[in-house]
């Protein structure tokens, strides 16, 4: 069954200088992307492929549906404050 909504977490890896993409809604989704444009482009391809590979779609190439996609961006940093 196709998920009604898909949530993706994009965590910035400062060492590799890319966002690492994962999702509990799309089994097997792990990818890297340099920026928002790259994130969206990769997800538009990877999500349908992975849902089909995991048997989470009806499997008909003739019918498509639109599923809401939420991308949460997480970037960790620090700030100095008075002690």
Give the pLDDT of the chain (83 residues) as one tens digit per residue. 777 899 999 999 999 999 999 999 999 999 999 999 999 999 999 999 999 999 888 766 667 788 999 999 998 888 999 98
Q: Give, in words, the CATH class of 6-74.
A: alpha beta
**pTM assigned to the model:** 0.83
In this structure, are residues 9 and 23 in contact, taking their beta carbons and an 8 Å threshold?
yes
What is the reported pLDDT for 3? 79
What is the reported pLDDT for 57? 80
Task: Break the chain into its structural domains and give their ranges.
Answer: 6-74
What is the reported pLDDT for 59? 62
What is the reported pLDDT for 40? 95
Phi-psi label, residue 56: left if phi above 0, alpha if psi -120 to 50, beta otherwise: alpha
User: Which SS3 state, helix, strand or coil, does residue 54 take?
Assistant: coil
């Amino acid at each position: 069954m196709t998920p009604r909504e898909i949530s993706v977490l994009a965590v910035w890896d400062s060492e590799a200088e890319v966002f690492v993409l994962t999702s509990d809604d799309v089994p097997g989704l792990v990818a890297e992307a340099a920026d928002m444009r790259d994130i969206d482009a990769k997800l538009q391809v990877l999500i349908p492929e992975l849902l089909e590979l995991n048997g989470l779609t009806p499997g008909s190439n003739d019918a498509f549906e639109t599923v809401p996609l939420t991308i949460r961006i997480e970037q960790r940093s620090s700030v100095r404050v008075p002690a």
